[in-house]
Amino acid sequence: MRDSTDGLIKRFDIKTQAVSKPIQTHGDGCPVADVNGGLWVLDRSKLSLTEYYTNSLKQVGFWNLGASSSRTSVGLSDSGFGSLWFPSGTFASRFDLASHQPTTIAMPPGVLAGTVVVDEPTHTVWVANCDSCDWIHR
């Protein structure tokens, strides 16, 4: 859970309804995935990823996804095929969890990626065209 008033991330335990001590993230951190014991946090303003151990909330690593600017915006992300997927208007980013390598995938003309959904059983990555979304910076 991200507390927008203080910019910190806290774990919420559904069973006990307890909230963990906050962890400081880089910049505008937003949790995007919990994969294999790692909590992945995306800094939407700098387009970077930080991994934390899920149990201890200690930082494991930090990676830049590539070019970003003050106009970077990222929509709803997903994980699958051993990667994290991030839509960002005219492109989508794929971050390989094994190699820690980012890949930028350009969208076709007229398509602005607003949401990514991974469907592993059908070997498909769905990208929603969000041409009318005002949060996407062109």
pLDDT by residue (tens digit) across 29-59? 788 888 888 889 888 777 788 898 888 888 8
pLDDT at 27 over 80: no
Average pLDDT over residues 110-137: 84
- Token couple for 95: 């971050």
Q: Which residues pair with 25 in a beta bridge?
A: none
Q: What is the pLDDT of residue 3?
A: 44
Asked if pLDDT for residue 137 goes beyond 60, the answer is: no
Write the single-letter amino acid at 111: V
With a CB cutoff of 8 Å and minimum separation 6, the contacts of 107 are 89, 90, 91, 92, 113, 127
**Position 134 pLDDT exceeds 80:** no
Rounded distance, CA 127 to CA 115, Å?
6
Tell me, what DSSP letter sits at residue 107?
A: P
| 38: exposed, middle or buried (Cβ count in 10 Å: 0-12, 13-18, 19+) | middle
- Is residue 77 exposed (0-12), middle (13-18) or buried (19+ Cβ within 10 Å)? buried
Q: Which two tokens stand for residue 129?
A: 């065209």
Class of domain 28-129: mainly beta
Which residue reads 């919420």 in tokens? 12
pTM of the model: 0.77
Neighbours of 95 (CB within 10 A): 24
60-110 residue pLDDT tens: 899 887 655 444 567 778 899 999 998 888 888 899 999 999 888 999 988
